[in-house]
Amino acid sequence: MPELLTSLLIWIAANSNLEHDGASLPKVVMASAEALHEMAFGENFPKAIRSGKYKVSGLYNDVENTIYLVDTTDLTTEGGKALLVHELVHYLQHTNGRTKEHELRVLEPLAYVLEASWLQTRLYAWREEVANSVAVGG
């Protein structure tokens, strides 16, 4: 896990204006979809909205310095690693102090852009993965 985190953090730093100090790493914890939903929205999620509509697949908690990934995430797959890239961007945004209110509007877009760019670098492997999952899973 540390090797994977480090290699993805180096890639993010090379492809953005975020810096990685090369030493510290966040914790990564797998959690159930229900637990993630609770962490993201708390108990105040409007009952009128079906919670299943808002699937949370990952989040970064800056107080605990922990990335939570839904426990169905397979980090040996490109799709799984892309999700980790997204959350690692949030980790670096935090460690780079990019969490001020006026910057909030760019936090998510940058995470999605880097997630997509990373998948682009892994396009062949990822395409095969998606094709196989469609063939098997229907």
| Contacting positions for Zn ion (CB under 5 A) | 108, 111
C-alpha to C-alpha distances, 66 to 9, 42, 62, nearest whole angstrom: 15, 17, 7
Nearer to Zn ion, 84 or 111 (CB): 111
Nearer to Zn ion, 97 or 137 (CB): 97
- Do the Cβ atoms of 57 and 81 come closer than 8 Å? no
Tokens of 10: 């180096």
Nearer to Zn ion, 70 or 111 (CB): 111
| Other beta carbons less than 10 A from residue 61's beta carbon | 18
Residue with tokens 């979809």: 33
Kindly state the smallest distance separating residue 32's Cβ from Zn ion, in Å: 19
Kindly state the smallest distance separating residue 91's Cβ from Zn ion, in Å: 11
Kindly state the smallest distance separating residue 86's Cβ from Zn ion, in Å: 6
In the beta sheet, which residues pair with residue 66?
Answer: 27, 61
